[in-house]
Amino acid sequence: MLFPGEAALRRYMNEKPIPKGESLITSDMWSAILVDGIFMAALCLYFLDSGFIKELFKCDEIRCNDPKGDLVLLTAFFCFFVFINNFNKFNARTESLNLFEHITENRNFLIVVLIIFLLQTTFTYYGGEVLRTVGLTLVEWGYVLAFAFIIIPLDLARKFLRNLFFGNPVVQENS
């Protein structure tokens, strides 16, 4: 639903056809999958194991039956995991350093990303017993969003280094 609506750009017409039997996944795609995947996995492990993070998302008497429990931390992690993947969609939709390149030409992308953010927030407050979630405070939401957003500058750094050492795969359009 997200990516088939991407604009058909002239620069795609300048690319050579991919020979039959050759992989559709390019070296740039592999670098994104590996670099971003390893970084996201490391962030997830850090989020769940870090004393610093645990101090930011503590249970209290109002939200948790057991103040020593980790329901707030696990709710924050659930949101972080969904949001980091949602932010990473912006990285995946273009090889360019400009994440907003032609973004308005794919309204479905923007709508689906917004719906995911809204549904996740709703699940947090109304998932309760079923999803084992509790509502987060505004400060906790700020931390979740900030930690999840880290994937954007990381992938921009990957793309910048790719351009610096291997050349820019994005051939500018003549329009």
Return the half-sphere exposure (C-beta side, CA atoms, 13 A cut-off) of residue 91. 26
Residue with token string 């790719």: 162
* Residue 174 banded pLDDT, cuts 50, 70, 90: very low
DSSP 113-136: HHHHHHHHHHHHHH-HHHHT--PP
Report which residue type is found at 102: H
Residue 163 and residue 97 in contact, taking contact as beta carbons nearer than 8 Å: yes
Question: 9-46 pLDDT, tens per residue?
Answer: 566 566 677 778 888 788 888 999 999 999 999 999 99
Each residue's pLDDT tens digit, 82-96: 999 999 999 998 889
Total Cβ atoms within 10 A of residue 30: 11
Give dist(CA 66, CA 60) in Å, integer.
Answer: 8
Whole-number Å distance between alpha carbons of 79 and 100: 24
**pLDDT for res 20:** 80
The region, left, alpha or beta by phi > 0 then psi within -120 to 50, assigned to residue 102 is left
Helix (H, G, I), strand (E, B) or coil at 15: coil
Tell me how far apart the alpha carbons of residues 94 and 91 are, in angstroms, rounded to a whole number: 6
Lowest mean pLDDT among 1-10, 88-97, 120-129, 146-155: 1-10
The answer to whether the predicted template modeling score (pTM) of the entire model surpasses 0.75 is yes
